[in-house]
Amino acid sequence: MPFKYNASRRHKFSKSRCRVTNWTEYNESLRRRADITVWFDESVEHQWGVGPTGKRGRPCRYSDFAITVTLQIRTVFHLALRQVQGFVRSLFKLMQLELAVPDFSTLSRRTSRLAPLPREGSKAFGPLDLVVDSTGLKVFGTGDWQETKHGKTQQRRSWRKLHLGLDLETGQIACSELTTDDIGDPSAVPGLLDQIDEPVHRFLADGAYDGAATRTEIMRRFAYVEIIIPPPKTAVAGPEAETAPTARDLDVLAIKAHGRMAWQKSSGYNKRARVETLMGRWKSVIGERLRSRTLDNQRTESRIGVSVLNKMTSLARPTFERIS
User: What is the rounded distance in angstroms from the CA atom of residue 263 to the CA atom of residue 235?
Assistant: 15
What is the predicted pLDDT for the residue at 44?
A: 86
What is the predicted pLDDT for the residue at 42?
A: 83
Position 200 pLDDT exceeds 60: yes
User: What is the rounded distance in angstroms from the CA atom of residue 133 to the CA atom of residue 39?
Assistant: 28
Domain limits of the chain? Answer: 25-111, 128-290
Exposed e or buried b per residue across 251-265, where buried means at least 16 C-beta atoms within 10 angstroms of its C-beta: bbbebeeeebbebbe
What is the predicted pLDDT for the residue at 154?
A: 58
What is the predicted pLDDT for the residue at 322?
A: 86
Nearest to 203 by CA among 228, 177, 167: 228
Tell me what the pLDDT averaged over the chain comes to: 88
What is the predicted pLDDT for the residue at 157?
A: 66
What is the predicted pLDDT for the residue at 80?
A: 94
What is the predicted pLDDT for the residue at 5?
A: 61
Burial class (CB in 10 A: 0-12, 13-18, 19+), 300: buried
pLDDT 10s digits, 51-108: 666 677 677 889 899 999 999 999 999 999 999 999 999 999 999 999 999 999 999 9
More confident residue, 56 or 48: 48
pLDDT confidence tier of residue 308, bands split at 50, 70 and 90: very high
Which amino acid does the sequence have at 293? R
pLDDT confidence tier of residue 309, bands split at 50, 70 and 90: very high
Give the predicted TM-score (pTM) of the model: 0.88
The string of DSSP codes covering 218-276 is HHHH-SS-EEE-PPPTT----TTTTTS--HHHHHHHHHHHH-HHHHHHHHTGGGGHHHH
Instruction: Tell me if the domain spanning 128-290 has CATH number 3.30.70.
Output: no
End-to-end CA distance of the chain: 23
pLDDT confidence tier of residue 323, bands split at 50, 70 and 90: confident
What is the predicted pLDDT for the residue at 187?
A: 94
Q: Is 134 helix (H, G, I), strand (E, B) or coil?
A: strand
Position 118 pLDDT exceeds 80: no
pLDDT confidence tier of residue 33, bands split at 50, 70 and 90: very high
pLDDT 10s digits, 243-295: 888 899 999 999 999 988 899 999 999 999 999 999 999 999 999 999 998 99
What is the predicted pLDDT for the residue at 123?
A: 59
pLDDT 10s digits, 143-191: 666 667 776 665 566 889 999 999 999 999 999 999 999 999 999 999 9
Mean pLDDT across 40-58 = 79
β 128-140/158-167 pair status: antiparallel
What is the predicted pLDDT for the residue at 50?
A: 79
What is the predicted pLDDT for the residue at 130?
A: 96
pLDDT 10s digits, 211-249: 889 999 999 999 889 999 999 988 888 888 888 888 999
What is the predicted pLDDT for the residue at 121?
A: 52
